[in-house]
Amino acid sequence: MTPEIEVTYFTDPLCSWSWAFEAIWRRLRYELQGRIAWRYALGGMIPDWKSFNDPLHSVHRPAQMGPSWYEVRHLTGMPIDEMIWVEDPPASSYPACVAVKAAGRQSTAVEEAYLRRLREAVMLERRNVARREVLTELFEELAGNPLRFRRDLVGGEALEAFREDLKDAGYRNIGRFPAFVLRGATGRAVLLVGYRPYAVFREAMAAVAPDLAPSQTAADPIAYALHWKSITAAEVAEAVGRPVDEVVRHLDGAVADGGLLREGRIYRGPVRVPA
């Protein structure tokens, strides 16, 4: 099936609004499976704290990022632990951006899984993804080639790929994340900047792909959680259209029955031991 819409997603592993958008982004990809194609462009949100300034959210030093993350959690319902900005604030988002490009040199699936794991690690586990050893440890949890990743992490190709993403964002004057370029089959495109609810995003998609329709919808919380292998209750609630408390009861019941594992705020599929 030829995708009816292509999305260029400008994001950053340290962007809390991008983390909050995971609930909507996953719902969109699930419902539009086979009808949507996408690629990630890494925006380099924090080069360093001397040059970073976010006047919209009144953030220009690490201690101010914690309250900003708290606000994102309050407004969107996605779980976030802002205490990393007190205990071990990341000095830059550039290392994590380069690491995503290094992972992408293995495959788009590895890139996807690694970007997600980076988000979980920094947003929920207080792990400093500006540190090379943390970037490597997180990659080693995935089904990729860790030797190649360590080599690509310090090689020139991943860095150059990140620089190209920075140029792309600069050309489009994108300074906030998440941001999206939605392009339909006719070539018509729409630029969205900032977090958007599901209905607004679908409306923007309809502007460039009027016939775009879901190929499936989520109904079973457990099946949806298993589809993604690693998920929060808020993400499941967004997709199935039920209150978070109700979804948590379903997911925790599956944990008790052995169908899911729970690690903090994350639910994962159980590890199957070969017979």
CA–chain centroid gap for 130, Å, is 17
In a domain, 204, yes or no: no
Last residue of a domain, one of 150, 171, 192: 171
Considering the domain architecture, whether residues 150 and 232 belong to the same structural domain is answered as: no
Q: What does 173-194 look like in DSSP terms, one character per residue?
A: T--SSSEEEEEETTS-EEEEES
How far is the C-alpha of 78 from the C-alpha of 98, rounded, in Å?
26
Is the pLDDT confidence value at 134 over 90? yes
Considering the domain architecture, whether residues 52 and 142 belong to the same structural domain is answered as: yes
Give me the domain span that covers residue 144.
5-171
Q: Are 90 and 122 spatial neighbours (Cβ–Cβ below 8 Å)?
A: yes
Considering the domain architecture, whether residues 69 and 143 belong to the same structural domain is answered as: yes
Sequence-distant (6+) residues with CB within 8 A of 206 are: 212
Instruction: Write out pLDDT tens, residues 110-131.
Output: 999 999 999 999 999 999 999 9
User: How would residue 55 be classed by pLDDT, with cut points 50, 70 and 90?
Assistant: confident
Is the pLDDT confidence value at 143 over 90? no
How far is the C-alpha of 170 from the C-alpha of 43, rounded, in Å?
9
To the question of pTM greater than 0.75 for the whole model, the response is yes
Considering the domain architecture, whether residues 136 and 230 belong to the same structural domain is answered as: no
Is the pLDDT confidence value at 272 over 70? no
In a domain, 69, yes or no: yes
How far is the C-alpha of 16 from the C-alpha of 13, rounded, in Å?
8
User: How would residue 54 be classed by pLDDT, with cut points 50, 70 and 90?
Assistant: confident
Q: Tell me the CATH number at 80.
A: 3.40.30.10
In a domain, 52, yes or no: yes
How far is the C-alpha of 122 from the C-alpha of 91, rounded, in Å?
13
Q: Are 95 and 75 spatial neighbours (Cβ–Cβ below 8 Å)?
A: no
In a domain, 185, yes or no: no
User: How would residue 94 be classed by pLDDT, with cut points 50, 70 and 90?
Assistant: very high
Domain count, the chain: 2
How far is the C-alpha of 254 from the C-alpha of 153, rounded, in Å?
38
Q: Are 9 and 178 spatial neighbours (Cβ–Cβ below 8 Å)?
A: yes
In a domain, 210, yes or no: no
User: How would residue 275 be classed by pLDDT, with cut points 50, 70 and 90?
Assistant: very low
pLDDT for the residue 271: 61
In a domain, 206, yes or no: no
Considering the domain architecture, whether residues 67 and 163 belong to the same structural domain is answered as: yes
In a domain, 75, yes or no: yes
Helix (H, G, I), strand (E, B) or coil at 212: coil
